Amino acid sequence: MTTDQTAPTSVDPGAPIRARAQVVSNLSEGEANHRIELRVERWPQWQPGQFVMLAPGAESAAPRYDPLLPRPMAIYTADSKGNFDQVSVLYKVEGRGTRLLAAAEPGEHVRMVGPLGTGFELPPEGHHAILVGGGTGTASLYSLARAALERGPVSVILGARRAALLMAESDFEKLGAKLHIVTEDGSRGEQGLVTDVLGPLLAEGGDPAIVYACGPTPMMRACHRLTREAGVSCRVALENRMACGFGACLGCAVPMAEGGFSLVCKQGPVYDADTLEWEGIP
Protein backbone atom coordinates (compact mmCIF):
# COMPACT_ATOMS: atom_id res chain seq x y z
CA MET A 1 0.00 0.00 0.00
CA THR A 2 1.06 3.58 -0.41
CA THR A 3 2.57 5.40 2.52
CA ASP A 4 1.65 8.96 1.48
CA GLN A 5 -0.07 10.82 -1.32
CA THR A 6 2.86 10.44 -3.70
CA ALA A 7 2.24 7.44 -5.91
CA PRO A 8 4.89 4.72 -5.80
CA THR A 9 6.69 5.00 -9.14
CA SER A 10 9.85 2.93 -8.61
CA VAL A 11 7.94 -0.36 -8.68
CA ASP A 12 5.66 -2.02 -11.19
CA PRO A 13 1.97 -1.34 -10.53
CA GLY A 14 0.06 -4.11 -8.84
CA ALA A 15 -2.70 -6.22 -10.32
CA PRO A 16 -6.04 -4.39 -10.42
CA ILE A 17 -8.68 -5.18 -7.83
CA ARG A 18 -12.46 -5.06 -7.84
CA ALA A 19 -13.54 -3.01 -4.87
CA ARG A 20 -16.73 -2.01 -3.14
CA ALA A 21 -15.45 1.42 -2.17
CA GLN A 22 -17.05 3.49 0.57
CA VAL A 23 -17.62 7.18 -0.10
CA VAL A 24 -15.72 9.28 2.45
CA SER A 25 -16.60 12.63 0.89
CA ASN A 26 -17.97 13.86 -2.42
CA LEU A 27 -17.74 17.63 -2.80
CA SER A 28 -18.34 20.20 -5.50
CA GLU A 29 -15.26 22.25 -6.35
CA GLY A 30 -16.87 24.94 -8.43
CA GLU A 31 -19.42 24.66 -11.22
CA ALA A 32 -19.25 21.13 -12.71
CA ASN A 33 -16.03 20.00 -10.98
CA HIS A 34 -16.23 17.45 -8.17
CA ARG A 35 -13.84 15.48 -5.96
CA ILE A 36 -14.78 12.10 -4.53
CA GLU A 37 -12.76 10.38 -1.78
CA LEU A 38 -13.15 6.62 -1.54
CA ARG A 39 -12.12 4.18 1.18
CA VAL A 40 -10.62 1.08 -0.43
CA GLU A 41 -9.26 -2.11 1.17
CA ARG A 42 -5.95 -3.60 -0.06
CA TRP A 43 -5.24 -0.95 -2.71
CA PRO A 44 -2.29 -2.10 -4.92
CA GLN A 45 0.82 -0.21 -5.92
CA TRP A 46 0.07 2.24 -8.72
CA GLN A 47 1.59 4.90 -10.97
CA PRO A 48 0.47 8.42 -11.89
CA GLY A 49 -1.47 8.31 -15.14
CA GLN A 50 -3.27 5.08 -14.32
CA PHE A 51 -7.06 5.07 -13.99
CA VAL A 52 -10.02 3.30 -12.43
CA MET A 53 -13.35 2.19 -13.87
CA LEU A 54 -15.86 3.79 -11.51
CA ALA A 55 -19.53 2.91 -11.33
CA PRO A 56 -21.92 5.72 -12.28
CA GLY A 57 -23.39 6.38 -8.88
CA ALA A 58 -23.84 4.67 -5.54
CA GLU A 59 -25.18 1.17 -5.24
CA SER A 60 -29.01 1.12 -5.53
CA ALA A 61 -29.03 4.69 -6.91
CA ALA A 62 -30.22 3.35 -10.25
CA PRO A 63 -30.80 -0.03 -11.94
CA ARG A 64 -27.56 -1.79 -12.84
CA TYR A 65 -28.38 -1.38 -16.54
CA ASP A 66 -29.15 2.38 -16.46
CA PRO A 67 -26.47 3.62 -16.93
CA LEU A 68 -24.93 0.32 -17.94
CA LEU A 69 -21.22 1.12 -18.15
CA PRO A 70 -18.69 2.36 -15.59
CA ARG A 71 -16.66 5.49 -16.31
CA PRO A 72 -12.86 5.60 -16.75
CA MET A 73 -11.38 8.20 -14.40
CA ALA A 74 -7.79 9.10 -13.58
CA ILE A 75 -6.47 8.36 -10.11
CA TYR A 76 -5.73 11.71 -8.50
CA THR A 77 -4.17 10.52 -5.23
CA ALA A 78 -4.12 7.42 -3.04
CA ASP A 79 -2.77 7.49 0.51
CA SER A 80 -2.65 5.06 3.38
CA LYS A 81 -5.02 5.52 6.31
CA GLY A 82 -3.82 2.62 8.43
CA ASN A 83 -5.79 -0.50 7.56
CA PHE A 84 -7.21 0.96 4.35
CA ASP A 85 -6.34 3.40 1.57
CA GLN A 86 -8.15 6.52 0.50
CA VAL A 87 -8.34 7.01 -3.25
CA SER A 88 -9.41 10.36 -4.65
CA VAL A 89 -10.80 11.08 -8.10
CA LEU A 90 -11.54 14.43 -9.75
CA TYR A 91 -14.37 14.46 -12.26
CA LYS A 92 -16.65 16.78 -14.18
CA VAL A 93 -20.42 16.36 -14.11
CA GLU A 94 -21.46 16.09 -17.75
CA GLY A 95 -24.21 13.46 -18.11
CA ARG A 96 -26.50 11.06 -16.28
CA GLY A 97 -23.69 8.82 -15.01
CA THR A 98 -21.62 11.59 -13.46
CA ARG A 99 -24.75 13.26 -12.07
CA LEU A 100 -25.52 10.02 -10.24
CA LEU A 101 -21.93 9.85 -9.02
CA ALA A 102 -22.12 13.44 -7.75
CA ALA A 103 -25.21 12.47 -5.74
CA ALA A 104 -23.38 9.66 -3.86
CA GLU A 105 -23.38 10.42 -0.12
CA PRO A 106 -20.71 9.65 2.51
CA GLY A 107 -21.21 6.11 3.80
CA GLU A 108 -22.65 4.83 0.53
CA HIS A 109 -20.67 2.48 -1.70
CA VAL A 110 -19.64 2.53 -5.34
CA ARG A 111 -18.08 -0.22 -7.43
CA MET A 112 -14.56 0.38 -8.65
CA VAL A 113 -11.93 -1.57 -10.62
CA GLY A 114 -8.29 -0.48 -10.71
CA PRO A 115 -5.58 0.56 -11.00
CA LEU A 116 -5.70 0.02 -14.77
CA GLY A 117 -3.48 0.86 -17.73
CA THR A 118 0.09 2.08 -17.84
CA GLY A 119 1.35 5.12 -15.97
CA PHE A 120 3.96 7.82 -16.44
CA GLU A 121 7.64 7.15 -15.97
CA LEU A 122 9.40 9.76 -13.86
CA PRO A 123 11.74 12.20 -15.60
CA PRO A 124 15.46 11.47 -15.50
CA GLU A 125 17.37 13.15 -12.68
CA GLY A 126 18.03 16.83 -13.36
CA HIS A 127 15.47 17.16 -16.16
CA HIS A 128 12.96 19.98 -16.20
CA ALA A 129 9.53 18.33 -16.12
CA ILE A 130 6.86 20.46 -17.80
CA LEU A 131 3.34 19.24 -17.03
CA VAL A 132 0.46 20.50 -19.20
CA GLY A 133 -3.09 19.85 -18.05
CA GLY A 134 -6.29 20.89 -19.79
CA GLY A 135 -9.71 20.48 -18.16
CA THR A 136 -10.14 17.07 -16.51
CA GLY A 137 -6.68 16.09 -17.79
CA THR A 138 -5.32 17.92 -14.76
CA ALA A 139 -6.33 14.94 -12.62
CA SER A 140 -3.67 12.70 -14.20
CA LEU A 141 -0.80 15.04 -13.37
CA TYR A 142 -0.90 15.95 -9.67
CA SER A 143 0.79 12.84 -8.24
CA LEU A 144 3.29 12.95 -11.11
CA ALA A 145 4.19 16.52 -10.17
CA ARG A 146 4.75 15.54 -6.52
CA ALA A 147 7.08 12.71 -7.48
CA ALA A 148 8.92 14.64 -10.22
CA LEU A 149 9.82 17.44 -7.78
CA GLU A 150 12.15 15.01 -6.03
CA ARG A 151 14.20 14.70 -9.24
CA GLY A 152 14.44 18.22 -10.61
CA PRO A 153 12.57 21.42 -11.46
CA VAL A 154 8.88 21.17 -12.34
CA SER A 155 6.69 23.63 -14.22
CA VAL A 156 2.93 23.10 -14.36
CA ILE A 157 0.60 24.68 -16.92
CA LEU A 158 -3.10 24.36 -16.11
CA GLY A 159 -5.70 25.47 -18.61
CA ALA A 160 -9.47 25.70 -18.91
CA ARG A 161 -12.07 27.61 -20.86
CA ARG A 162 -12.83 29.80 -17.84
CA ALA A 163 -11.80 30.13 -14.20
CA ALA A 164 -14.68 28.08 -12.77
CA LEU A 165 -13.58 25.03 -14.76
CA LEU A 166 -9.99 24.96 -13.49
CA MET A 167 -9.26 21.83 -11.46
CA ALA A 168 -7.11 21.52 -8.34
CA GLU A 169 -5.37 24.89 -8.72
CA SER A 170 -4.86 25.25 -4.95
CA ASP A 171 -3.35 21.75 -4.69
CA PHE A 172 -0.74 22.57 -7.33
CA GLU A 173 -0.01 25.93 -5.68
CA LYS A 174 1.02 24.13 -2.49
CA LEU A 175 3.50 21.84 -4.26
CA GLY A 176 6.16 24.48 -4.87
CA ALA A 177 6.35 23.89 -8.60
CA LYS A 178 6.30 26.88 -10.94
CA LEU A 179 2.61 27.23 -11.77
CA HIS A 180 1.11 28.86 -14.86
CA ILE A 181 -2.66 29.36 -15.15
CA VAL A 182 -4.26 29.93 -18.53
CA THR A 183 -7.94 30.49 -19.39
CA GLU A 184 -9.38 31.01 -22.83
CA ASP A 185 -11.56 33.92 -21.67
CA GLY A 186 -8.89 35.51 -19.46
CA SER A 187 -10.97 35.16 -16.28
CA ARG A 188 -8.00 33.62 -14.45
CA GLY A 189 -4.27 33.81 -15.14
CA GLU A 190 -3.15 34.49 -18.69
CA GLN A 191 -5.64 34.64 -21.53
CA GLY A 192 -5.06 32.13 -24.29
CA LEU A 193 -4.15 28.47 -24.64
CA VAL A 194 -1.73 26.29 -22.67
CA THR A 195 0.47 26.07 -25.76
CA ASP A 196 0.95 29.87 -25.58
CA VAL A 197 2.90 29.21 -22.38
CA LEU A 198 4.50 25.91 -23.38
CA GLY A 199 6.23 27.35 -26.46
CA PRO A 200 8.21 30.01 -24.56
CA LEU A 201 9.09 27.54 -21.80
CA LEU A 202 10.59 25.17 -24.33
CA ALA A 203 12.55 28.04 -25.88
CA GLU A 204 14.15 29.03 -22.56
CA GLY A 205 16.77 26.28 -22.72
CA GLY A 206 18.65 25.45 -19.54
CA ASP A 207 18.05 22.00 -18.07
CA PRO A 208 16.99 19.30 -20.54
CA ALA A 209 13.21 19.14 -20.58
CA ILE A 210 10.53 16.50 -20.83
CA VAL A 211 6.85 17.30 -21.33
CA TYR A 212 3.87 15.44 -19.91
CA ALA A 213 0.40 16.34 -21.19
CA CYS A 214 -3.19 15.29 -20.57
CA GLY A 215 -6.34 16.98 -21.80
CA PRO A 216 -8.39 17.40 -24.97
CA THR A 217 -6.92 15.71 -28.04
CA PRO A 218 -6.33 18.99 -29.96
CA MET A 219 -4.36 20.30 -26.98
CA MET A 220 -2.15 17.22 -26.78
CA ARG A 221 -1.67 17.23 -30.54
CA ALA A 222 -0.48 20.84 -30.34
CA CYS A 223 1.86 20.00 -27.43
CA HIS A 224 3.36 17.21 -29.51
CA ARG A 225 3.94 19.56 -32.44
CA LEU A 226 5.76 22.08 -30.21
CA THR A 227 7.91 19.46 -28.49
CA ARG A 228 8.82 17.82 -31.79
CA GLU A 229 9.95 21.18 -33.18
CA ALA A 230 11.98 21.78 -30.01
CA GLY A 231 13.50 18.29 -29.98
CA VAL A 232 11.96 17.53 -26.58
CA SER A 233 10.40 14.26 -25.50
CA CYS A 234 6.63 14.31 -24.87
CA ARG A 235 4.46 11.83 -22.97
CA VAL A 236 0.67 12.03 -23.15
CA ALA A 237 -2.19 10.38 -21.28
CA LEU A 238 -5.17 9.85 -23.57
CA GLU A 239 -8.72 10.34 -22.30
CA ASN A 240 -10.63 7.91 -24.52
CA ARG A 241 -14.09 6.61 -23.74
CA MET A 242 -14.02 2.98 -22.58
CA ALA A 243 -16.55 0.27 -21.98
CA CYS A 244 -14.55 -2.38 -20.13
CA GLY A 245 -11.07 -1.16 -19.16
CA PHE A 246 -9.48 -4.56 -19.87
CA GLY A 247 -9.13 -4.67 -23.67
CA ALA A 248 -12.09 -6.99 -24.26
CA CYS A 249 -14.43 -4.61 -26.08
CA LEU A 250 -11.81 -3.02 -28.41
CA GLY A 251 -13.70 0.28 -28.15
CA CYS A 252 -10.71 2.43 -27.17
CA ALA A 253 -8.33 1.58 -30.03
CA VAL A 254 -6.15 4.39 -31.41
CA PRO A 255 -3.98 4.36 -34.56
CA MET A 256 -0.20 4.16 -34.24
CA ALA A 257 2.35 6.03 -36.32
CA GLU A 258 3.99 2.80 -37.49
CA GLY A 259 0.65 1.23 -38.42
CA GLY A 260 -1.88 -0.83 -36.55
CA PHE A 261 -3.79 0.09 -33.44
CA SER A 262 -3.24 0.19 -29.70
CA LEU A 263 -5.80 -0.31 -26.92
CA VAL A 264 -5.70 2.71 -24.64
CA CYS A 265 -6.97 0.77 -21.63
CA LYS A 266 -4.11 -1.76 -21.81
CA GLN A 267 -1.13 -0.32 -23.71
CA GLY A 268 -2.08 3.21 -22.59
CA PRO A 269 -3.40 5.57 -21.49
CA VAL A 270 0.20 6.92 -21.34
CA TYR A 271 2.11 6.98 -24.64
CA ASP A 272 5.19 8.52 -26.13
CA ALA A 273 3.53 11.16 -28.31
CA ASP A 274 5.77 10.25 -31.26
CA THR A 275 4.26 6.77 -31.46
CA LEU A 276 0.69 7.96 -32.11
CA GLU A 277 -0.95 8.76 -35.45
CA TRP A 278 -2.49 12.01 -34.27
CA GLU A 279 -4.49 12.73 -37.41
CA GLY A 280 -6.44 9.53 -36.88
CA ILE A 281 -7.40 10.27 -33.27
CA PRO A 282 -10.79 12.01 -33.04
Give the chain's mean pLDDT.
90
Is 2.40.30.10 the CATH classification of the domain at 17-116? yes
First to last CA, the chain: 37
Residue 64 has pLDDT above 60, yes or no: no
Domain boundaries, the chain: 17-116, 120-236, 240-282
- pLDDT at residue 65, as a whole number: 61
- pLDDT at residue 10, as a whole number: 45
Alpha-carbon torsion 133, 13, 6, 115, what sign?
positive
Assigned fold of 120-236 = Rossmann fold (3.40.50)
- pLDDT at residue 13, as a whole number: 67
- pLDDT at residue 33, as a whole number: 94
Tens digit of each residue's pLDDT (9 = 90 or more) over 28-62: 988 899 999 999 998 999 999 999 999 988 887 65
Which CATH code for domain 240-282? 2.10.240
More confident: 248 or 221: 221
Tens digit of each residue's pLDDT (9 = 90 or more) over 3-36: 344 444 444 667 898 999 999 999 998 889 999 9
Tens digit of each residue's pLDDT (9 = 90 or more) over 173-208: 999 899 999 999 999 999 999 999 999 999 987 889
